[in-house]
Structure 1
Amino acid sequence: MAKSLYLFALLVVASCALCEGQNVTNLPKGGSISDTMRTVTSHGPERITRNIIQDRNGNIWIAAFDGIFRYDGNSFTNITNQVSSARFFSVLEDRQGNLWFGTIGSGVYQYDPKKADGQKFRHFTTAEGLIDNRVPHIYEDKSGRIWFGTLTGASRFDPGQVVGKQFQNYRMNGAWPFTGLENGDLPPDDHDDVNSIIEDKNGKFWFGTRGDARIFDGKAFTVIRHEGQTFTNVRTIMEDRRGNVWLAGGDGLWRYDGSTFTNFTDDFVGFVYEDRAGNIWTSSQSTFSGKWGISRYDVKSLSDKKPVATKIDSDYKANEQMTFGLMEANDGSIWFGSLGGVYRYDGKTIKDFKGK
């Protein structure tokens, strides 16, 4: 089911966002960074916004190309403006309450809000064992290990190991585990980048790449196939509360119930997300109109033979550009990213958080 034609706009953004060099501001030495030194504003990010989460304290964290923003319900704080000028792509809160920030070109930052100023940040790059400094995805597995999806494979970080042995690296071309780039050869499908990782209810790991999606059982990996066809350019993989695995990407939106694959749409779907009510949300581009937007599959329709999504209509500017990560906040609103910042849908209207 691999499509021969990828969206031109998607490739343009991917090449610009993932392949350029990066200017990096090193962590300060001998000094401290306090919250009062960081930029507090009434507006959120104004550049490409890729991922959004809400932490255990209710703060919303936003990974964008102009920094990591924290929203407390009243104002935004750029947490990283004194630390790095990197373009941030991914954000995760682990079970210990640490925040992890993935960048394109500057590796990964760990942020511990419990520590004193000047000690909150740790920086991990290829020098510490990370397989690649371009990190579009971060995931925590059931054992508390942190996985980083990068442009040349995946890195698994085990916080329980001694320094120097915390990283285990993997390539999608069959070299499991992979400990060095060696000749830098591309895998057989010419794509070794990892866009999404999940551990399913059976303990198997699913990897979405721009090449063929794969499953890893801890010993070997297999390419995922349906009726002899592979799933390519998979951007998001998600397991819902019923144990179904969803694949979203260039081949559309698919659900796997353990035995059968079901197709929901052939539109390009960048992100798939399940809210607390069991509704499935997507950010996608219409094959017919070419417009981007967010849609919702009502939980009651998911058992239908051909469920139809409700498109969230609006005149917001993001419908003419790509939409990215989705997140349901504690108040039930849906947040999503775009090429020009972050938006919030409250069930009736869509609001942006840009400056004047």
Structure 2
Amino acid sequence: MTLNLQHARHALAAVGLALTCMTGSAFAQAPAPDYRVRETFNVGDTVYVRALTIEKGTNTIWVGTSTGVHEIDLSTRKPRKTFTRADGLANEYVFAVGIDSQGYKWFGTNAGGASRYKDGKWKTYFPMHGLADYWIYSYANDKDGNLWIGTWAGVNHYNVKTGEFKKYVKELINEWVYGLDVDAKGRAWFATEGGVSMFDGKTWKSWTHKDGLGAPNADQLPASSNTGLGTRSRHDLTTMEHGQPTYNPNYSFAMHIDPQGDAWVGTWGGGVARFDGKTWKNYNSKDGLVGNIVYSIAQDKQGVFWFGTDKGVSRFDGKSWRSFTTKEGLLDSHVYTIAASENGDIWVGTRRGVAVIGK
């Protein structure tokens, strides 16, 4: 059974967003009998899903793609709205979706700045308004209800009451920021192209591979030359060279702070790094992680971790690993974003679409 979304327009109309009910036989080789890929949403073979953000109050999942944003009802799986440039987005390529304490939806775009939306009204922010850059990759709310924004030219702290932007660049270990999270103490953590930085409101600290970030290069992969480190050139996000994976452990894609306050970082080739405030512990394919390039991290209500990698999704309960790949029903191997819903479903964003993993 396939349900096509009827409201997508422009580029989205061409690809649609389809819900496919997969049969049990399609997942006969699933590694976890209690979990399986239950549904897939196809958005087109050349379309990337870069952001999945759940809005609990409205039972919504926001799907940011390379051709616009879908607002989807979590219960019915049906679209409420689809947004493109014609509706108010500054750029259809959306890398991040944030929801601030006042209910505004923030769409971080690729070269189009940040577009803010609420109740049918739009406002777009560019560097001329105080935004650090036109390339926006992450959002996180702080304990005071203000918003951190990760960009390719540093980070912003946005005061939701005054509308003022503060910008930090030189304080970071590297200005190319991809992942963001805030811990219970109010400290902001940043995953950057050159390592990890943390700001406690007064002082900054940073860590790199030399400090323990990222597992050793056990497979002797070549170092990646695809980097903007020390430059202002705009590079792409491919992790392959000449058809082979590469290694760049300082390059951190994802940041997640668990309830205990430990920082979990997804690295390029170094797997997942866990920092307890004193020491780093790394997990890679030798431990059970399906792929060593980790784009995304989420934690479900039971505290179980889900990692999106270049080879699929891995579930880690602290002791055992279970992985899901295209053989189990994922639409693509590269998992750029993950979101855990209240009912236990795990939403996975890849090139070509979204998959739902659940019991």
The reply to whether TM is greater than 0.5 is: yes
The reply on whether 1:196 has 2:179 as its aligned counterpart is yes
Counterpart of 1:253? 272
Corresponding residue number in structure 1 for 2:207: 224
Task: Tell me if the contact between 2:213 and 2:280 (Cα under 8 Å) persists in the aligned partners.
Answer: no
The letter of the residue matching 2:150 is G
- Percent of paired sites with the same residue: 24
Matched, 1:208 2:191: yes
Aligned to 1:336: 348
- Name the aligned partner's letter for residue 158 of structure 1: N
8 Å Cα contact 1:318/1:339 also seen in 2: no
Within 5 A, what are the aligned runs for 1:1-356? 39=9, 43=18, 45-46=43-44, 47-55=47-55, 56-72=57-73, 73-76=76-79, 77-82=81-86, 83-84=88-89, 85-113=91-119, 117=120, 120-161=121-162, 166-171=164-169, 173-174=170-171, 191-224=174-207, 228-230=211-213, 232-250=250-268, 251-265=270-284, 267-285=292-310, 292-298=311-317, 302=318, 307-315=319-327, 318=330, 320-347=332-359
For residues 344 and 227 of structure 1, the distance between their equivalents in structure 2, rounded to whole angstroms, comes to: 37
One-letter identity of the residue aligned with 1:274: Q
Uncovered stretches (5+) of structure 1, i.e. residues with no partner: 1-35, 176-188, 286-291, 348-356
Could you tell me which amino acid in structure 2 is paired with residue 174 of structure 1?
E
Counterparts of 2:149 and 2:197, CA distance in 1: 16
Shift of 1:59: 1.2
Shift of the 137–99 alpha-carbon distance from structure 1 to 2, 3 Å rule, reads: same
Q: Deviations over 1:123-161 (max 9, x none)?
A: 111121101011011111111111111111111111222
**Aligned mates of 1:211, 1:127 — CA distance in 2:** 27
Structure scoring higher RCO (CA < 8 A, sep ≥ 6) equals 2
> Aligned partners of 2:109 and 2:210: how far apart in 1?
37
Residues 1:227 and 1:123: Cα distance change in structure 2 (over 3 Å) = closer
Residue 280 of structure 1 deviates from its aligned partner by: 0.6
More strand by share: 2
Residues 228 and 242 from structure 1, CA distance in 2 versus in 1: closer, same or farther, beyond 3 angstroms?
closer
Which letter does structure 1 place at the counterpart of 2:258? D
Amino acid at match of 2:182: E
User: Mind listing any 5+ residue stretches in structure 2 that lack a counterpart?
Assistant: 1-5, 19-40, 215-249, 286-291
Report if the CA contact (8 A) 1:155-1:167 is conserved: yes
Measure the CA separation in 2 of the matches of 1:319 and 1:59.
22
Residue identity in the other structure for 2:342 = N
Alpha-carbon deviation of 1:78? 1.1
* Pairwise CA distance, 1:340: 1.4
| Pair 1:53–1:228, CA change in 2 (3 A) | closer
1:67 Cα deviation (Å)? 0.5
After superposition, the Cα gap between the structure-2 partners of 1:125 and 1:296, relative to the gap in structure 1 and judged at 3 Å, is same
What's the CA shift for 1:71? 0.9
Q: Is the 8 A contact 2:326 2:332 kept in 1?
A: no
How far apart, in 2, do the equivalents of 1:57 and 1:343 lie?
A: 21
Q: Report the alpha carbon displacement of residue 218 of structure 1 after superposing the two structures with TM.
A: 2.4
Structure 1 residue 193: deviation in Å? 0.7
Query: Which secondary structure does the structure 2 equivalent of 1:127 belong to?
Result: helix
SS at match of 1:136: strand
Structure 1 residue runs of 4 or more that deviate by more than 6 Å after TM superposition: none
TM-score normalized with structure 1 length: 0.71
Question: What TM-score, normalized to structure 2?
Answer: 0.70
Aligned length: 276
RMSD: 2.5
